[in-house]
């Protein structure tokens, strides 16, 4: 169960591998409840942990996940985990579980079309790329960047939709509108509110995304960018 819960935490919170692996018992016990300020019954536990380049990053824990983690902790000794092991997702050899190996396993087991894309770096980029299409304000991006554990400058530089995707998905539609004298259809709309109009464009977009994914360097090996 520990590797399953760890993978879920990583995907739900769009975190880096080492941020989940390095979660300690002392850090976990500092979590606190936060209630949503809307009318929804959305209560979660929130905790802070050290992210990349000494940036602070955050985890949101659903009530059911808290129960699972508490169970994992309570059964540590029964699972032959050493008492002095400081990590939540501890392994019996005195270190932590191999989350990278677990993520690869589940990516294959879920019969994903492209399991190699189900990696922490790719998942984080997918979130940022999706939100770019939402036309977020600068403040929205700042809040999201802080949650993800990097600066707004890093977010803008490394996590935006790559130019090939923007060109195929949005710019091509804008050019077609001008050529066909249909400019009025897009008055008052931003570039990112102009979407693909055909299956061909969708196919080209997918191809551009795949090409971009192949060219992405592993985030864990990239150099630190200035923190906030």
pLDDT at 34 over 90: no
Q: Which residue has the higher pLDDT, 6 or 146?
A: 6
Q: Where are the domains of the chain?
A: 2-116, 119-228
* Cβ atoms of residues 43 and 34 within 8 Å: yes
Q: Which residue has the higher pLDDT, 119 or 225?
A: 119
- Nearest CA-CA partner of 205 in 129, 139, 154: 129
Span 165-207, pLDDT tens digits: 656 666 777 777 777 777 677 676 666 666 554 444 445 455 5
Structure confidence at residue 226 (pLDDT): 39
Question: Domain 2-116 class?
Answer: alpha beta
Span 116-163, pLDDT tens digits: 878 887 887 777 667 766 667 777 777 777 787 766 666 666 556 555
Structure confidence at residue 194 (pLDDT): 63
Structure confidence at residue 214 (pLDDT): 53
| C-alpha–C-alpha distance, residues 52 and 89, integer Å | 19
Q: Which residue has the higher pLDDT, 22 or 220?
A: 22
**Which residues, including other chains, have CB under 8 Å from residue 141's CB and lie 6 or more apart?**
131, 152, 155, 156
Structure confidence at residue 112 (pLDDT): 79
pLDDT at 58 over 80: yes
| Residues constituting the chain | 228
Residue 24 has φ and ψ, to the nearest 5°, of -100, 165
Mapped onto helix, strand or coil, the DSSP state of residue 84 is coil
* Max mean pLDDT range (69-73, 123-127, 178-182, 223-227): 69-73
């Amino acid at each position: 169960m520990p590797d399953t819960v760890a993978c879920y935490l990583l995907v739900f919170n769009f975190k880096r591998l080492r941020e989940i692996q390095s979660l300690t018992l002392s850090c976990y016990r500092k979590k606190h409840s936060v209630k949503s300020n809307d009318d929804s019954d959305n209560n979660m536990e929130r905790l802070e942990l050290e992210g990349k380049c000494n940036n602070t990053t955050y985890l949101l824990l659903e009530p059911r996940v808290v129960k699972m983690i508490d169970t994992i902790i309570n059964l540590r000794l029964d699972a032959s985990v050493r008492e002095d092991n400081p990590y939540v997702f501890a392994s019996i050899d005195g270190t932590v579980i191999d989350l990278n190996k677990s993520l690869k396993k589940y990516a294959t087991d879920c019969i994903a079309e492209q399991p190699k894309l189900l990696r922490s770096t790719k998942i984080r980029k997918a979130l940022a790329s999706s939100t770019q299409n939402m036309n977020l304000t600068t403040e929205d991006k700042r809040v999201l960047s802080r949650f993800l554990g990097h600066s707004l400058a890093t977010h803008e530089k490394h996590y935006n939709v790559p130019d090939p995707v923007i060109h195929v998905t949005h710019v091509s539609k804008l050019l077609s509108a001008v050529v066909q004298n249909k400019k009025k259809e897009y008055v008052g709309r931003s570039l990112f509110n102009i979407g693909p109009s055909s299956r061909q464009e969708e196919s080209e977009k997918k191809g551009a995304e795949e090409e971009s994914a192949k060219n992405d360097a592993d985030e864990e090996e990239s150099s630190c960018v200035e923190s906030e």
